[in-house]
Amino acid sequence: MSRLSAFVGQACLAFLPVLVIQLLSLTNLSLAALLSQSFAIVSVLFSVSYMAQRQYVNIYGPIGNDIRGDIKFRLKNVVVASALSLMLLKYYEVAFYVAFFSITIKLSESLLDYLYGYFNHTYGFKKGARSFFKLSFVRFMLLLALMTSLYYFVGLNESYVWYLIGVSSIIFLLVVTFTFYYKFPRVTEKKLFNGYKSRIKILFPFSISASLCAFLVVLPRWLVDVGSESDNIFLVSFSLVPVFGVLFNTLFASYIELARVNISESFKKLLLIVVSVNILFYFSDILLLPIITALYSYSYDLAEVYLKSVKVGVFFFSSILFANFYKFNKPYLEGATYLVGIITMFTLNFTGFTIYTSIMITSLVVFLLSMLSLKVKQ
């Protein structure tokens, strides 16, 4: 039940932009593809700004037991990430309302991302998952109600709709910030690791890995241009895949306690689940193709493109998941694994391989390198 709570909570966190992209693709496929790329860009910059705080806190707890300091650190970083995202999206000539929407949705989830790690460490996975689920579900339902109402009465092609949702996201962030910031006690004693620079030094090995992982995850959407119908469908369908990434990351989080004691056992149990999920998707055509055709009014060929993208994406996310096991011994090796994956995908793509082949080979390379984490001494 706790795994389900954690998964639904994380899914609620990630599903809003996915839902908008999927709904928009029904009436404006090219804009939906553009929004998918926009979220990919913003996600990378925000992931870099997070500096793997959630992952660190999940394992070790708040830095210096100063949760107020952690919250301030997170908020300062996401403000910088927002400014950089806006400039980069402007460089790519993305419409301002699309950029504003992408950034504010990420802002609304930024503090919840940190609190997920804090809840897990403080209360244990079972109680922490339930606490996170409640908070994430409230955000999801509030913004979903607004989105659904606007979609039904106005549609998603009016720019002011995107601004309304964006402003609502900022209000949610402010409410959560003030609620939790003043709930925690202030740490008055001065400690060497309580400052901003000290936090950067502590988190740096973890942040390199998290940043490289974020870039690797969105790289497929960066390598495909908005243009042809099949490319646009790839971008739209691949935006759905992070929901499965949430599932796999939730599973990994549930095995953290076991991995602290026995990495090999945790690795094997997670691998069994991941393989089972991939087998189910591999044989899912007879069930999912008619559903995709009915939902999106695609031809059978385009529905196959959609499902193929999802299958490849699920394999991709599940394969790179196992590099997380380096966190327990050599965090820099996790980053090195992702870097090899990035170089591999770039090389394959620019030497003429299709995006699907590039993703599959990269997934296998990253997984094989991740297996070496079982050989590293704890």
Does the pLDDT value for residue 201 go beyond 90?
A: no
Please report which confidence band the pLDDT of residue 191 belongs to, taking 50, 70 and 90 as the band edges.
Answer: low
- Domain around 286: 2-374
At 187 the pLDDT is 56
Looking at residue 262, the DSSP 8-state letter turns out to be -
Query: Which of 201, 132, 148, 171 lies closest to 19 in space, CA to CA?
Result: 148
Q: What is the mean pLDDT of the chain?
A: 83
Query: Which of 216, 255, 219 lies closest to 340 in space, CA to CA?
Result: 216
Domain count, the chain: 1
pLDDT in tens, 213-224: 888 988 898 888
Please report which confidence band the pLDDT of residue 126 belongs to, taking 50, 70 and 90 as the band edges.
Answer: confident
Reading the block at residue 51, the tokens are: 């500096």
Please report which confidence band the pLDDT of residue 175 belongs to, taking 50, 70 and 90 as the band edges.
Answer: confident
Does the pLDDT value for residue 332 go beyond 70?
A: yes
Looking at residue 187, the DSSP 8-state letter turns out to be -
Residues 6+ apart with CB under 8 A from 187: 64, 65, 66, 68, 69, 194
Scanning the structure block, which residue is given the tokens 């094997």?
268
* 3-state SS, residue 188: coil
Record the pTM. 0.78
Distance CA(306)–CA(236), nearest Å, equals 8
Distance CA(31)–CA(24), nearest Å, equals 7
Q: Judge whether 229 and 302 are in contact, CB under 8 Å.
A: yes
Does the pLDDT value for residue 5 go beyond 80?
A: no
Does the pLDDT value for residue 282 go beyond 90?
A: no
Does the pLDDT value for residue 361 go beyond 90?
A: yes
Angle between helices 159-181 and 67-91 (to 10 degrees): 160
Distance CA(228)–CA(188), nearest Å, equals 58
Q: Judge whether 46 and 83 are in contact, CB under 8 Å.
A: no
At 377 the pLDDT is 55
Q: Which residue has the higher pLDDT, 59 or 46?
A: 46
* 3-state SS, residue 228: coil
